[in-house]
Amino acid sequence: MAATLAPGALAPALADDDVRIERHGVWKRFRRHRLALLGAIVICVITVCAFSAKLLAPADPNFIDQANWSGYPLAPGVAHHILGTDENGRDLLSRLMYGGQISLTVAFFAVLMELSIGTVIGAVSGYYGGWIDYLLMRLTDVFLSIPLLPLLLVLTAIVAASSNKAALGFGVIVVIIGGTSWPAVARLVRASFLSLREKEFCEAARALGNRDGRIIFRHLLPNAVAPIIVQGTLEVANVIILESTLSFLGFGIQPPTASWGNMLANAESNMAIAPWVAIFPGLCILVTVLAINYLGDGLRDALDPNMK
Amino acid sequence: MPLLLLISIILYWILSNAPGGPLAPYLQNPHITAADIARLKHNFGLDQPLPVRYLRWLGMVVQGDLGYSTSNSETVVQAIVERLPATILLTGTSFAVSLLIGVSIGIFAAIKPYSLVDYTVTTLAFFGQSMPVFWFALMLQLAFAVTGITAFGYHFALPSAGISSTDDVDIGDRLEHLILPTIVLSLVYIATWSRFTRSSMLEVIRTDYMRTAAAKGLDKLTIILRHGLKNALIPVVTIIALSLPGLFAGAVVTETIFAWPGMGRLFFNALGQFDFSLLMGYLLIVSTLVVFFNLVADVAYAWLDPRVKYD
């Protein structure tokens, strides 16, 4: 009798264990999704603030407060400048809001362009295979092998040298970033298409006499969209950092137009007396990028659990 | 090899779109006639069509001649060789630091998943990946160079620019100058490598042979280090090999901000004057590194993991 356990003896232990495991999993998922949710909320707040700058901003981003400004940045709180002013006496909060508009719009359109190019190249490459695939993938390899930041710097320097630095406007930056950062997306889409084109529904679509373009965009693409969304989200974060780095180095958005990056360009020289000029724009970049990365991570878990 | 050739063709084509070139200073000179310009153009070979110029350039590169750097008044090879030690010092130190810290905190996080240590490491990794490098550099300069930090009765202050304060080599001084740039350059790699080590280690810990090792009665440390680490590090080695050229190219920003006299700053300074030969040479070198380390990653992966076979 000693060998047999009373049925109830083991059950509580098991139940307890189960509950713990269950709670563990829920806590884990909850934590992940809570951060992603928080990320989404933060992104919404920042976007709304940036794009309602006309209504909310305390001043014009390029207005120089000559009444109070004496050649040095005004500290936060002085003369109704909530976050102070920069070295030219322009309201920092207003510039942050308008700068956010630029940084976010550049990122959005550059990623849109990147995703379009990457998706088309990847889809065509994966769907047709053969020599088309070979050619397109070699092109992808070339762009993957040239480090992105030096390449972007050279391209922007060419534009700057061809006319002048003022030519480095919004559109140019979008085209340069979007036109060079698509290879990762192309690889991703190609990989999904390689497996999708062997599936039965694809064969069925072909048997029904659909044209290739229709099969690619109407039948295959919707099935490959999850990793594209995840990659796209994470790319927005990358592009914000790229654009701000370019602008900081003087090869991105040109002053007087504010962007989070170029607001930091002159901050260094005044850092000893006016650290706030250097702190706030970078904090905006960090918080935005962090929020997007958490959102992307949550999306990956939610949409595509097998993806790494 | 064919890939490198293709890269060089595309790079040459892109860079040849820039105006100016070696003749730019003469174009503004009123004493130089159009005939002189034409003769100079001919001397530089600039009247030739692009493919011919490319082939000439390629012929020189094959012989180890990257051309003449107009912004430095010396040959590109000379300019790069002069800056190479500084860059290798910085990237080498950052590599060692990232490897040591990144991999070890990754392992710590994986040993106790979902513990406080793990959450701290993963959160820090997220911050590290989201941090704009140049801003992080500014903040470190603000904290350590501009104001300095007073703690434990000491006042910590570090130099924010350059590689040394004196002309003679002083190890302590050199190290002081190295600290901030190294932290900045390592941050991203500590973040990515620790995340990667963590997930790779977590996968290994769940395997049967780890349970077998535990069943044999080995102590936990031996299991993790002898049995686990060996297998967990295989994919990590690949990632590290793949990100090495990025470390090199990423030094552009770090070197520029900290006025570190290396290749990255050389490249950045050449941008303003559009020094064709130097930019071309730099891009070619970093791209070659990427291609080379891709190969290294493939070979290392197959060599470390006998289960992987390439056809």
What pLDDT, on a 0 to 100 scale, did the predictor assign at position A203?
84
Q: Comparing B283 with B31, which gets the higher pLDDT?
A: B283
Average pLDDT over residues B94-123: 88
- Return residue ranges of chain B for CATH 1.10.3720.10: 80-304
Selected residues 135-194 of chain A with any CB under 8 Å from a CB in chain B: 138, 141-142, 144-147, 149-151, 153-155, 157-158, 161-162
Pair A249, B268: CB distance under 8 Å: yes
CB atoms inside a 10 Å sphere around CB A33: 14
Give the least confident one: A29-38, A235-244, B160-169: B160-169
| Percentage of the residues of chain A whose pLDDT score is greater than 70 | 83
Question: What are the structure tokens assigned to B170, written together?
Answer: 């002083």
What pLDDT, on a 0 to 100 scale, did the predictor assign at position B61?
77
Q: With contacts defined as CB-CB under 8 Å, which chain B residues touch A24?
A: 114
Question: What are the structure tokens assigned to B244, written together?
Answer: 């090495």
- Taking CA B109 as the corner, what is the angle to CA B105 and CA B114, rounded to the nearest 5 degrees? 155
Q: Do residue B134 and residue A138 have CB atoms under 8 angstroms apart? A: no
Q: With contacts defined as CB-CB under 8 Å, which chain A residues touch B286?
A: 146-147, 150
Pair B107, B229: CB distance under 8 Å: yes
Q: How would residue A17 be classed by pLDDT, with cut points 50, 70 and 90? A: very low
| Percentage of the residues of chain B whose pLDDT score is greater than 90 | 11
Residue A306: is it exposed, middle or buried by C-beta count within 10 angstroms (0-12/13-18/19+)? exposed
Residue A290, pLDDT above cutoff 90 = yes
What are B180-223's pLDDT values in tens digits? 889 999 999 999 999 899 988 888 888 888 888 888 877 777 78
What are B244-292's pLDDT values in tens digits? 888 888 788 898 888 888 888 889 988 877 788 888 889 999 999 999 9
DSSP helix/strand/coil, B40: helix
By Cβ distance, the residue of B131, B132, B138 closest to A267 is B138
Q: Which residue has the tokens 């190479």?
A: B84
Q: With contacts defined as CB-CB under 8 Å, which chain B residues touch A149?
A: 249-250, 252-253
Average pLDDT over residues A72-79: 70
Residue A246, pLDDT above cutoff 60 = yes
- SS3 track for B174-219: HHHHHHHHHHHHHHHHHHHHHHHHHHHHHHHHCCHHHHHHHHCCCC
Nearest-Cα residue of chain A relative to residue B139: A279
What pLDDT, on a 0 to 100 scale, did the predictor assign at position B74?
79
Q: Do residue B6 and residue A142 have CB atoms under 8 angstroms apart? A: yes
Mutation target vs A (from B91, B134, B253; most A CBs, 10 A cutoff): B134
What are B34-72's pLDDT values in tens digits? 777 777 667 666 667 777 778 888 877 777 777 777 777
Pair B287, A145: CB distance under 8 Å: yes
Residue B116, pLDDT above cutoff 50 = yes
Q: How would residue A237 be classed by pLDDT, with cut points 50, 70 and 90? A: very high
Average pLDDT over residues A19-37: 62
Average pLDDT over residues A90-111: 90
The C-alpha of A245 sits at a distance from chain B's nearest C-alpha, in angstroms, of 7
Average pLDDT over residues A270-282: 83
Average pLDDT over residues B164-183: 77
Q: Quick check: A290 contacting B, CB < 8 Å?
A: yes
Question: What are the structure tokens assigned to B258, written together?
Answer: 């900290």
pTM: 0.85
Question: To the nearest whole number, what is the mean pLDDT of chain B?
Answer: 81
Alpha-carbon distance values, B5 to A197, A237, A300, B299 (Å): 32, 33, 37, 22
| Percentage of the residues of chain B whose pLDDT score is greater than 70 | 85
Q: Do residue A141 and residue B14 have CB atoms under 8 angstroms apart? A: no
Residue A307, pLDDT above cutoff 70 = no
Helix A183-196 / helix A225-249 crossing angle, nearest 10 deg: 170
Q: How would residue B154 be classed by pLDDT, with cut points 50, 70 and 90? A: low
Residue A15, pLDDT above cutoff 60 = no
Question: What are the structure tokens assigned to B15, written together?
Answer: 């860079």
What are B282-310's pLDDT values in tens digits? 999 999 999 999 888 888 888 887 776 66
Residue B157, pLDDT above cutoff 70 = no
Kindly state the helix (H) or strand (E) to which residue B115 belongs, with its residue range: none
Question: What are the structure tokens assigned to B188, written together?
Answer: 């991203």
Nearest-Cα residue of chain B relative to residue A154: B271
By Cβ distance, the residue of B18, B130, B139 closest to A158 is B18
What pLDDT, on a 0 to 100 scale, did the predictor assign at position A175?
93
What pLDDT, on a 0 to 100 scale, did the predictor assign at position A176?
92
Residue A11, pLDDT above cutoff 50 = no
What span, in angstroms and rounded, lies between the C-alpha atoms of A172 and A148?
A: 16
DSSP helix/strand/coil, B75: strand
How many beta-carbon pairs under 8 angstroms link A with B? 131
CA dihedral of residues B246, A262, A281, B137 (deg, nearest 10) = 40
* Top-ranked range on mean pLDDT: pick from B23-27, B82-86, B93-97: B93-97
What pLDDT, on a 0 to 100 scale, did the predictor assign at position A152?
92
Q: With contacts defined as CB-CB under 8 Å, which chain B residues touch A142?
A: 3, 6-7, 10
Q: Do residue B283 and residue A150 have CB atoms under 8 angstroms apart? A: yes
What span, in angstroms and rounded, lies between the C-alpha atoms of A128 and A120?
A: 12
Q: Do residue B14 and residue A155 have CB atoms under 8 angstroms apart? A: yes
Residue A10, pLDDT above cutoff 50 = no
Nearest-Cα residue of chain B relative to residue A267: B138
What pLDDT, on a 0 to 100 scale, did the predictor assign at position A8?
43
Average pLDDT over residues A106-117: 95
DSSP helix/strand/coil, B155: strand
What pLDDT, on a 0 to 100 scale, did the predictor assign at position A291?
94
Q: How would residue A208 be classed by pLDDT, with cut points 50, 70 and 90? A: confident
The alpha carbons of chain B give a radius of gyration, in whole angstroms, of: 25
Selected residues 5-64 of chain B with any CB under 8 Å from a CB in chain A: 6-7, 10-11, 14-15, 17-20
What span, in angstroms and rounded, lies between the C-alpha atoms of A283 and B286?
A: 31
Residue B150: is it exposed, middle or buried by C-beta count within 10 angstroms (0-12/13-18/19+)? exposed
What pLDDT, on a 0 to 100 scale, did the predictor assign at position B310?
60
User: Among B293, B279, B109, B73, which residue's Cα sits nearest to residue B194?
Assistant: B109
Question: To the nearest whole number, what is the mean pLDDT of chain A?
Answer: 81
Question: What are the structure tokens assigned to B164, written together?
Answer: 């040394």
Q: Do residue B131 and residue A157 have CB atoms under 8 angstroms apart? A: no
Q: With contacts defined as CB-CB under 8 Å, which chain A residues touch B267?
A: 150, 153
* Residues forming beta bridges with residue B303, ordered by sequence position: none
What span, in angstroms and rounded, lies between the C-alpha atoms of B197 and B233?
A: 7
Q: Do residue A154 and residue B246 have CB atoms under 8 angstroms apart? A: no
Q: Comparing B98 with B251, which gets the higher pLDDT?
A: B98
Q: Comparing A221 with A54, which gets the higher pLDDT?
A: A221
By Cβ distance, the residue of B3, B126, B132 closest to A282 is B132
By Cβ distance, the residue of A141, A153, A282 closest to B139 is A282
Q: Do residue A264 and residue B14 have CB atoms under 8 angstroms apart? A: no
Nearest-Cα residue of chain B relative to residue A288: B130
Q: Which residues contact A37 (CB under 8 A, 6 or more apart)?
A: A298
The C-alpha of B271 sits at a distance from chain A's nearest C-alpha, in angstroms, of 6
Q: With contacts defined as CB-CB under 8 Å, which chain A residues touch B14?
A: 154-155, 158
Selected residues 91-110 of chain B with any CB under 8 Å from a CB in chain A: none
The C-alpha of B72 sits at a distance from chain A's nearest C-alpha, in angstroms, of 18
Residue A288, pLDDT above cutoff 60 = yes
Give the least confident one: A73-82, A127-136, A197-206, A290-299: A73-82
Q: How would residue A123 be classed by pLDDT, with cut points 50, 70 and 90? A: very high
Q: Does domain B80-304 have CATH number 3.90.226.10?
A: no
Q: Do residue B253 and residue A249 have CB atoms under 8 angstroms apart? A: yes
Q: Quick check: A236 contacting B, CB < 8 Å?
A: no
Q: Tell which phi-psi region holds residue B266, choosing left (phi > 0), alpha (psi between -120 and 50) or beta.
A: alpha
Strands B68-69 and B74-75: antiparallel
By Cβ distance, the residue of A150, A245, A293 closest to B282 is A150
